[in-house]
């Protein structure tokens, strides 16, 4: 008998007669976190993502572009990558250039402009599908219009989030949105700027992605 056969025989001999009962995940989460208002979830989300060094600004549904312009101006950024195939990207592309902010669109295969993407694109602007209050996490679902590279490559990533789509927990987000029925090729959970402490245990930002994360959070009472 080979070593492999001996190991498999021991595993089979010690295998349980039947599988244990699956845990009641829904019941655990129901007791773990009660219902909250949209305002409370927005407050909790903001608290945790700001702890991770993200910037958050409350904006109105119609006034977010003014705050976007103010953020770019304060950071002395005059070029913003947008997705013209989305409503927010189209609006930014239409209204920011007259204010001195160039808004090139991600509307061509990356192979043709990779150098410009990596070397001449200081910031990008995307939308979040939702967020998780418990961990201060943004949910992004990249699409053909807004590919993953938009949130991965530019040093500054600006995200538009509707506070009405903030969930209490990761489980609630999965259940409410029916993730079991299908996911994109890449679904992203972002809880702050890119950071690492691999080298001499010194925390550094921007090692594997954007070094700055800015969230424009749409709230109804703003």
pLDDT digits (tens, 9 = 90+) for 143-177: 999 999 999 999 999 999 999 999 999 999 999 99
Largest CA distance in the chain: 78
Q: Which residues contact 159 (CB under 8 A, 6 or more apart)?
A: 125, 126, 127, 128, 138, 140, 151, 190, 213, 214, 215, 216
Q: Crossing angle, helix 25-32 and helix 170-177, to 10 degrees?
A: 120
Flag whether pLDDT at 22 surpasses 90. no
Other C-beta atoms closer than 10 Å to the C-beta of 182 total 6
Which of 164, 138, 130, 161 has the alpha carbon at shortest distance from 38?
164
With beta carbons less than 8 A apart as the criterion, state whether 92 and 125 touch. Answer: yes
pLDDT at 67: 98
Strand partners, 141: none
Q: What are the E-state strand segments in the chain?
A: 55-59, 123-127, 130-132, 137-140, 156-162, 166-167, 188-190, 195-196, 204-205, 212-218
**Integer Cα distance of 147 and 139 in angstroms:** 14
Return the structure tokens found at 193: 């700027």
Q: What is the pLDDT of residues 93-138, one digit of tens each?
A: 999 999 999 999 999 999 999 999 999 999 999 999 999 999 999 9
Give the separation between CA 18 and CA 133, rounded to whole angstroms: 38
**For the ranges 12-21, 39-48, 119-128, which has the lowest average pLDDT?**
12-21
Give the tokens for residue 134: 């418990």
Distance from C-alpha of 51 to C-alpha of 33, rounded to nearest angstrom? 21
User: What is the pTM assigned to this prediction?
Assistant: 0.87
Q: What is the rounded distance in angstroms from the CA atom of residue 160 to the CA atom of residue 90? A: 13
Buried/exposed code over 33-42 (b: 16+ C-beta within 10 A; e: otherwise): eeeeebeebb
Question: What's the chain's average pLDDT?
Answer: 91
Tokens 């930014």 sit on residue: 92
What phi and psi, each to the nearest 5 degrees, are found at residue 139?
-110, 120
Query: Do residues 38 and 164 make contact, with C-beta atoms less than 8 angstroms apart?
Result: yes
Please tell me the total number of residues recorded for the chain in this structure: 222
36 has a pLDDT exceeding 90: no
């Amino acid at each position: 008998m080979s070593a492999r056969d001996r190991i498999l025989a021991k595993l089979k001999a010690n295998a349980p007669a039947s599988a244990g009962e699956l845990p009641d995940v829904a019941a655990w989460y129901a007791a773990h976190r009660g219902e909250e208002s949209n305002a409370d979830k927005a407050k909790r989300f903001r608290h945790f993502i700001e702890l991770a060094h993200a910037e958050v600004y409350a904006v109105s549904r119609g006034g977010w572009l003014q705050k976007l312009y103010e953020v770019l101006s304060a950071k002395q950024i005059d070029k913003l990558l947008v997705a013209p195939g989305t409503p927010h990207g189209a609006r930014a592309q239409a209204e920011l250039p007259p204010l001195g902010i160039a808004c090139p669109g991600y509307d061509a295969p990356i192979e043709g402009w990779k150098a410009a993407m990596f070397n001449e694109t200081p910031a990008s602007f995307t939308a979040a599908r939702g967020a998780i209050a418990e961990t201060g996490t943004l949910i992004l679902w990249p699409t053909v219009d807004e590919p993953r590279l938009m949130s991965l490559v530019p040093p500054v990533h600006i995200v538009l989030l509707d506070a009405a789509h903030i969930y209490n927990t990761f489980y609630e987000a999965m259940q409410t949105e029916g993730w079991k029925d299908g996911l994109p090729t890449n679904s992203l959970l972002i809880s702050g700027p890119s950071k690492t402490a691999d080298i001499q245990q010194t925390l550094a930002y921007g090692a594997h992605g954007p070094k700055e994360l800015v969230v424009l959070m749409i709230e109804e009472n703003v």
